[in-house]
Structure 1
Amino acid sequence: MKFDLHTHHDRCGHASDKISDYIESAIESGMQVIGISDHSPYFAHELDQPQPGIAMARSDFPNYVAEVLRLKDKYKDRIEVLLGVESDFYVDQIELYRASYEPYPFDYIIGSVHQTRGVSIFNRNRWKDKDEAQQVVEKKHYYELILHSVNSGLFQVLGHIDAMKGYYPEFANIAGAESEIDEALKAVAANDISIEINTSGKTKYCGGWYPSDAILERALHFGVDVTFGSDAHVPDRVGDEWELVQKRLSEIGFKHWVFFRQKQKIVVPL
């Protein structure tokens, strides 16, 4: 069974095409399950859409959900469409986000740390003038936030858990945060959720996928379940490198991966 839980569309402002285009691409790719998971609005901001090139307007969120549900019904005889969202995670706003999602029948919610200390994880300038010790502190802080996101109980999937390497590949080589990474992975297993293998890293400076093989090996050691997400921002990337990921997971030692329907884990043998 082929599935992809992480796709975007034009509503977020930095992806192209309509939701239906991603569904059609999934059908053409031979997928049985496609998840729609556009970026959450900035629920806590005083403006309705403070950053139109990053996330949808708060007022548009109900329209997003309604459109996915309509398409779920429209395509039900051709492919299973899942209602998801990629949620930002802010420690001090988690209850607001929880309340904002509660009215809707999400199949899953992806929790992604996109900012630390108010700076995008993809901003390579954040590393300028930081010595080795400061870099370790920043990496530890990132994984501490991921641990908090796991323990919030809001998410079924953790998004791109080493994406800080996206535009700063050296992030992967910063040593000293191994304990924080392990604690986050152990919490994922304890909370019975999952991490995604996200193939969009190939579109960034780092190349390859999120997370690294080293983290996936640790995840297997701790009994962490994994899922697949292309993080497609164009329809042609739906399911991108699915077979290669499947093969690599088998080589590492995984026996299955998962997706979520009505927030219940569905196990799919590799």
Structure 2
Amino acid sequence: MNSHLKFDFHTHHYRCGHARGEIRDYIEAAINNGLDMIGIADHSPYFASEEEQPFPGIAMGKSEFPAYIREVLMLKEEFQGKIDVLLGIESDFFPDHINLYKKQYDQYPFDYIIGSVHHVDGINIFKKGRWDGLTEQEKIATKERYYHLIEQSAKSGLFQILGHIDAMKGFYPAFSKIQTNAIDHTLKVIGENEIAIEINTSGNTKDCGGWYPADDILERALYYGVKPTFGSDAHDPERVGDEFELVRQRLKEIGFKDWAYFKEKKRYLYHL
């Protein structure tokens, strides 16, 4: 056992249509990288859609969902004693469909659910052209709507972890410079609701580089009592646990004392 608990709560696999490899490959990569815990958290299906799989390159089909759960639970058993395999999901947050998603998730023994806002004004946050031609005021309004959605997701009671809370900068690095107090307000709400935010190292794979969220947001998060956790957001087994140690060191430098992990939706704090 490491003197420090090592974990990664955010990994994908082939079912989402844009990741490589089987769940087993991610678990084996985690063992090879000395992790104590590996969370599988593929993208949730579009439960509100009439179609089985409206966006095959983005998320699994609805009928795949039970098979996904079964496979993770089977592997949890198989790897018991070698590594803790945790059942998670990265859930889209659509305020209008919150009850529908809740009903789906309540049927299964999730260790945690990551709530991620991927759409603002009906447009994907990573869509490269979405900022073209917007005035400064419209950019501010868009950023504020993004953080308002994250805030609603924090209050929804559905999630234990909030995913990549400044990912909108992914293909638009200037996003970080749009001035608004919305982030502070959102972090305050997250802190009051005892939800963790992940330090997600996949920003490195996008134009913005670095992690989600950026250091200045982490400093504010500390101020509001928000607890961090770790997720590589690996879409390739090679990225499991990516930069875990660097993140741990950085959080200590910023002033965090502990971070969160989850089992059966219960939050545990572990010293950094």
Normalised TM-score (structure 2): 0.98
Between 1:182-191 and 1:207-216, the stretch displaced more is: 182-191
The CA distance in 2 between the partners of 1:195 and 1:185, in whole Å, is 9
Q: Which residue type is aligned with residue 89 of structure 1?
A: F
Structure 1 counterpart of 2:74: 70
Q: What is the correspondence of 1:1-270 to structure 2 with a 5 Å cutoff?
A: 1-175=5-179, 177-178=180-181, 180-270=182-272
Query: Any unmatched runs of 5+ in structure 1?
Result: none
Q: Which residue type is aligned with residue 266 of structure 1?
A: Y
Normalised TM-score (structure 1): 0.98
Q: Which residue type is aligned with residue 27 of structure 2?
A: I
Could you tell me how far 1:181 is from its partner in structure 2?
A: 1.1
The CA distance in 1 between the partners of 2:166 and 2:68, in whole Å, is 28
Q: Which residue type is aligned with residue 70 of structure 2?
A: A
The CA distance in 1 between the partners of 2:90 and 2:57, in whole Å, is 15
Could you tell me how far 1:124 is from its partner in structure 2?
A: 2.0
Query: Any unmatched runs of 5+ in structure 2?
Result: none
The CA distance in 2 between the partners of 1:224 and 1:117, in whole Å, is 27
The CA distance in 1 between the partners of 2:145 and 2:55, in whole Å, is 25
Q: Which residue type is aligned with residue 199 of structure 2?
A: I
The CA distance in 1 between the partners of 2:57 and 2:250, in whole Å, is 34
Q: Which residue type is aligned with residue 254 of structure 2?
A: I
* Number of residues of Structure 1 aligned to a counterpart in Structure 2: 268
In structure 2, the residue corresponding to 1:108 is in which secondary structure? coil
In structure 2, the residue corresponding to 1:140 is in which secondary structure? helix
Deviations 1:122-164 (A, max 9, x none): 0121100001111000000000000010110100000000000
In structure 2, the residue corresponding to 1:206 is in which secondary structure? coil
Q: Which runs of 4+ in 1 moved over 3 A?
A: none
Deviations 1:100-137 (A, max 9, x none): 11100000000000001110000121100001111000
